[in-house]
Amino acid sequence: MTINNFRTQQRPDSGINEQNDERINASEQGTISTNPKPNVSVKDDDADSNCSANSHNLADNHTVLSLQNVKVASRLSVEGLRAKKGECVHIIGPNGAGKSTLLLTLAGLIEADEGNVMLLGKPMSDWSLATLANVRTLLAQQSESGFHLSVKEYLSFYATAQQDELIPPVLEKALEISGFLNKILTQLSGGERQRVEICRSLLQIWPQLERGEGIAFLDEPLQGLDIRHQYALASLVKFLCDKGNTLLMTSHDIALSANYCDSLWLMQKGCMVAFGKPQEVATQTNLESVFECHFAISKHDNFLEIQVCAPISLE
Amino acid sequence: MTGTKRTAVTLVVITVLLSLVIGVVGIVSVTGLSDTAAELKQHIIVQLQIPLVFTACLVGAALSTSGATLQVVLRNPLADPGIIGITSGASLVAALLLLLTPQWATAYLHYLLPLGCFIGALLSTFIIYRLARKLLGSSTAVILAGIAISTLSGAVIAWLYMFSDANALRNLTFWLMGSLYQTNWLILSVGGPLIAVAVALQLYFAGDLNKLYAGELAAKSSGVDVEKLTERALIVCAIAVGTAVSMAGSIAFVGLLVPHILRLIIGHNNRYLLPLSALSGASLLMLVALSSEMTRAITLPVSMVTATLGGPLLIWALAKGQIKG
């Protein structure tokens, strides 16, 4: 897999630009709180099939994940959300917006105080940790290991037994970790360690990912990666989704996320502010109200250019 | 992986052979020594030497396997049955029994002591676990609670020292430093199966323990119920260590040293590390028993020997940068 120049990369939903431009204008007019939906909702099946008629990903209406009125303590309160098979979801939002809590809840590692979380049509409470482990994987943000084991040994504990090679070629192309397989885990740089962790989490369900049946939750996988590996990872995530897997990742790189996802979820203070196609969610109004800084957004063909355009005053 | 496996298998063979040789030498050396009546010879072997060898094996295996398990479960290389306070509860009960048992009951002390130690070890583990759970629910909290309990029982033992007569004091000091000569067949027949089961259960946890290396969330994501595993591992370790302490007093360092040295040689895979820890721990204590036997008249306190052998080894490994944090 090569790293595509994202400017020229064709998005699957090409051909509906005019429609989308209108939507951006429409949603820019309303405030976020009063207008979270009609255009950007994926809750409604009809609206969804309208705006993504050409998308091969969403043509399969099979819902992998869904949330309904989920509340987790004071950290998360989400009304309704769903992710479909093969969907690539990027979640953005300020620090403490509840992105990690959302991922952990969806992964079945935090129990919701209220509401329903469904995974593959089954309520989360019906899943056991052991069966979940064969269906979905999670990359957590912090992973401590004070033990001085080698990268190779570390990865071998998580790889499934029937693999011929420890690191599948696609993973190696995107993550490039075979160079330090024999190094000690704790002696790696932050970015190298992050690449190893990403590899570990994906290895856990690699047979499922190869068949296009996997679900992965990656919490800030771009953290610490250099620019090349950031885009390599975004391409890897897209590649896996195109095979039919469902991947959800959080990110702080709005510009990258907006161009590499099928759906963009925008969160603030534990709530989902907007969700849907990136062009509809990453609007100036939405971003400025959530992130509290000025954005310049321009659209070139299918590429969204998003920049912070005014300095933030410290006075 | 094949390299690691080969090293592991080689080590297993060497350890088993070494244990056998040490065991046999231990028995034979005594057989050679006692050239009095054949009956006396037989009595020494059956009533003293064979229980000694068994005790050394069981105690060594229990302590080093539990050390290895605790280090992974608590994700702290410092964890050791002694440091996290499992033994301190046992020591406290032993001190109370040795110093406060009324005259008429001293005849039963031989059986009372192991039982009391066992209960003490389980009790302190229970307190440590509940305390840690209430405080933070993290592995660091377990260690902190353990240190608190150790300090407290150390203080109580120190107070008891002040109000005891010389003979009881000597007994206690001796017990606190560990001795392999306290057992008999009855205690062995209870302790042996307990330790065997506790060690076997730890080997059964090995696969799940491997997943803990990436942290709690990653382990959970890969299907390990971390809370349950921690709870079970702590209980199993408490049983193994409690039994070992009841049989041989408190023995320092074995649980810390053996797993660390082994990790340098065979790596971190608990499927190999735990059984090898059991075998090497058993060999180490048999070596100690043998050296005790060689010096004849004096029965050396075990902690003295393990610390004398182990201290420099650990310092050497630290200085070479092989063991860190």
The Cα A138–Cα B216 span in angstroms is: 12
Q: How many CB atoms lie within 10 A of CB B29?
A: 14
Q: Does A129 contact B at CB distance below 8 Å?
A: yes
pLDDT of residue A106: 92
For residue B224, which residues of chain A lie inside 8 Å, CB to CB?
129
Contact A150 B267 (CB under 8 A): yes
pLDDT of residue A225: 93
ipTM over 0.85: no
Please name the member of B221, B269, B324 whose beta carbon is closest to the beta carbon of A133: B221
pLDDT of residue A199: 93
Kindly report whether the global pTM for this prediction surpasses the value 0.90: no
Integer CA distances (angstroms), B291 to A122, A151, B140, B170, B181, in order:
63, 41, 37, 22, 14
Looking at per-residue pLDDT, the higher value among B25 and A65 belongs to: A65
The mean pLDDT of A286-299, rounded to a whole number, is 89
In order, the DSSP letters of B37-65 are -HHHHHHHIIIIIHHHHHHHHHHHHHHHH
pLDDT of residue A95: 92
Contact B215 A140 (CB under 8 A): yes
Looking at per-residue pLDDT, the higher value among B321 and A203 belongs to: A203
Q: How many CB atoms lie within 10 A of CB A129?
A: 17
Q: Give the CA radius of gyration of chain B.
A: 20
pLDDT of residue B197: 95
The Cα of A143 is separated from the nearest Cα of chain B by a number of Å equal to 5
Domains plus CATH for chain A?
62-281 (3.40.50.300)
Q: How confident is the model at residue A27 (pLDDT cuts 50, 70, 90)?
A: very low
Q: Are B142 and B124 in contact (CB under 8 A)?
A: no
pLDDT of residue B5: 64
Asked whether the predicted pLDDT for residue A195 surpasses 90, the reply is yes
Q: Does A29 contact B at CB distance below 8 Å?
A: no
For residue B215, which residues of chain A lie inside 8 Å, CB to CB?
140, 142-145
pLDDT of residue B105: 65
Please name the member of A131, A147, A204 whose beta carbon is closest to the beta carbon of B213: A147
Looking at per-residue pLDDT, the higher value among B136 and A199 belongs to: A199
- Tens of pLDDT, residue by residue over B175-212, are 777 777 777 888 888 889 999 999 999 999 999 999 99
Q: How confident is the model at residue A94 (pLDDT cuts 50, 70, 90)?
A: very high
Nearest CA in chain A to B217: A140
Q: How confident is the model at residue A30 (pLDDT cuts 50, 70, 90)?
A: very low
Asked whether the predicted pLDDT for residue B302 surpasses 60, the reply is yes
For residue A146, which residues of chain B lie inside 8 Å, CB to CB?
75-77, 325
Of A264-278, B173-187, B229-243, B246-260, the poorest mean pLDDT is in B173-187
Among B59, B34, B74, residue whose Cα is nearest residue B244: B59
pLDDT of residue A163: 65
Among A191, A259, A187, A261, residue whose Cα is nearest residue A223: A191
Contact A109 B221 (CB under 8 A): yes
Bridge partners of A71, per DSSP, are A77, A114
The Cα of A298 is separated from the nearest Cα of chain B by a number of Å equal to 39
pLDDT of residue B177: 77
For residue B76, which residues of chain A lie inside 8 Å, CB to CB?
146
Contact A143 B218 (CB under 8 A): yes
Contact A129 B4 (CB under 8 A): no
3-class state of residue A95 by DSSP: coil
Q: Does A133 contact B at CB distance below 8 Å?
A: yes
The mean pLDDT of B161-170, rounded to a whole number, is 79
DSSP code at position B319: H
pLDDT of residue B261: 84
The Cα B199–Cα B233 span in angstroms is: 10
The Cα of A90 is separated from the nearest Cα of chain B by a number of Å equal to 20
The Cα A231–Cα A255 span in angstroms is: 11
Q: How many CB atoms lie within 10 A of CB A94?
A: 13
The Cα of A292 is separated from the nearest Cα of chain B by a number of Å equal to 32
What residues contact residue A64 under an 8 Å CB cut-off, 6+ apart? A83, A84, A85, A87, A119, A120, A215, A246
The H or E element containing residue A196 is helix A190-203
For residue A199, which residues of chain B lie inside 8 Å, CB to CB?
none
Contact B267 A107 (CB under 8 A): no
Asked whether the predicted pLDDT for residue A50 surpasses 90, the reply is no
Looking at per-residue pLDDT, the higher value among B318 and A65 belongs to: A65
For residue A206, which residues of chain B lie inside 8 Å, CB to CB?
none
Looking at per-residue pLDDT, the higher value among A9 and A163 belongs to: A163
Please name the member of A134, A138, A149 whose beta carbon is closest to the beta carbon of B213: A149
Contact A200 B214 (CB under 8 A): yes
Most confident of A126-130, A139-143, B22-26: A126-130
pLDDT of residue A28: 38
Matching CATH number, B56-319, of 3.40.50.10800, 3.40.190.150, 3.40.50.300, 1.10.3470.10: 1.10.3470.10
Q: How confident is the model at residue B30 (pLDDT cuts 50, 70, 90)?
A: low
The mean pLDDT of A16-27, rounded to a whole number, is 40
Residues above pLDDT 90, as percent of chain A: 39
Integer CA distances (angstroms), B310 to A274, B83, B252, in order:
62, 16, 10
* Most distant CA atoms of chain B, gap in Å: 66
Q: Does A14 contact B at CB distance below 8 Å?
A: no
For residue B225, which residues of chain A lie inside 8 Å, CB to CB?
129
Question: Is the Cα dihedral B2, B6, B8, B9 positive or negative?
Answer: positive
- Tens of pLDDT, residue by residue over B80-101, are 887 778 888 888 888 888 777 7
Contact B225 A158 (CB under 8 A): no
Among B196, B176, B199, B198, residue whose Cα is nearest residue B188: B196
Nearest CA in chain A to B271: A157
Contact A158 B211 (CB under 8 A): yes
Integer CA distances (angstroms), A189 to A158, A225, A228, B60, in order:
21, 10, 16, 39
The Cα A298–Cα A282 span in angstroms is: 11
The mean pLDDT of B25-29, rounded to a whole number, is 60
The Cα A253–Cα A235 span in angstroms is: 14
Q: Which of B70, B211, B222 to mutate to test the interface with A (most CBs of A within 10 A)?
A: B222
pLDDT of residue A175: 92
* Mean pLDDT over the full length of chain B: 80
The Cα A124–Cα A215 span in angstroms is: 14
The mean pLDDT of A47-57, rounded to a whole number, is 35
The mean pLDDT of A274-293, rounded to a whole number, is 89
Asked whether the predicted pLDDT for residue A174 surpasses 90, the reply is yes
Among B218, B73, B221, residue whose Cα is nearest residue A144: B218
Burial call A165-192: b when 16+ CB within 10 Å, e when fewer = ebbbebbebbbbbeebeeeebeebeeeb
The mean pLDDT of B268-278, rounded to a whole number, is 91
The Cα B322–Cα A294 span in angstroms is: 52
The Cα A39–Cα A35 span in angstroms is: 9
* Mean pLDDT over the full length of chain A: 79
Asked whether the predicted pLDDT for residue A217 surpasses 80, the reply is yes
Q: How confident is the model at residue A246 (pLDDT cuts 50, 70, 90)?
A: very high
Q: How confident is the model at residue B19 (pLDDT cuts 50, 70, 90)?
A: low
For residue A153, which residues of chain B lie inside 8 Å, CB to CB?
4, 267-269
The mean pLDDT of B60-88, rounded to a whole number, is 85
pLDDT of residue A54: 35
pLDDT of residue A68: 87
Q: Determine phi and psi for A60, rounding to 5 degrees.
A: -80, 115
For residue B75, which residues of chain A lie inside 8 Å, CB to CB?
144-147
